[in-house]
Amino acid sequence: MTEPDTPYPPPSPGPDQETIDLAHALLDLARQGRTEQLAAYVDAGAPADLTDPAGNTLLMLAAYHGHADLVRELARRGADVDRLNDRGQSPLAGAVFKGEPEVVDALLEHGADPDAGMPSARDTAQMFGRAGLFDGPARQ
């Protein structure tokens, strides 16, 4: 018996250029904090946990860039507040690293785990002298 020339099942084609362009646009909306526009796309069926090539979700990008309202809206729409990127970093650790107390509050309000990831948000706070970020209303 000989092996077939193509693997079974045949590989599926990747997304078309229009889909790739839309994904890039959505990731840019997250970086820019464009809450209404991005929420509308998610409501219309865009994945709430869409990721870039490094595994950063829309929520991670919004958190890292300091957009607390967008973080809340994505979390309300099912985005995973603890989803780690390819480097094992959590959105909460990113917000702590960037010194974004409103984003920290938004993530904790939606159940983010301060011990998720490597380094965790708690470890990040210790490393950068930001333990006070866990002293706010949503953090107690």
Domain ranges of the chain: 17-139
Give the total residue count for the chain: 140
pLDDT of residue 136: 57
In the chain, what's the furthest Cα-to-Cα distance? 69
Say how far apart CA 103 and CA 115 lie, in whole Å: 16
- By C-alpha distance, which of 72, 84, 85, 80 is closest to 39? 72
DSSP state string for 25-71: HHHHHHHHT-HHHHHHHHHTT--TT-B-TTS-BHHHHHHHTT-HHHH
pLDDT of residue 10: 65
pLDDT tens for 41-95 read 999 999 999 999 999 999 999 999 999 999 999 999 999 999 999 999 999 999 9
pLDDT tens for 90-139 read 999 999 999 999 999 999 999 999 999 999 999 999 999 988 887 655 54
C-alpha atoms less than 13 angstroms from C-alpha of 137 in its C-beta half-sphere? 4
Say how far apart CA 102 and CA 4 lie, in whole Å: 57
Considering the chain, what percentage of its residues have pLDDT values greater than 90?
79
CB 117 within 8 A of CB 91: no
pLDDT above 80: residue 38: yes
Query: Tell me, which fold does domain 17-139 have in CATH?
Result: 1.25.40
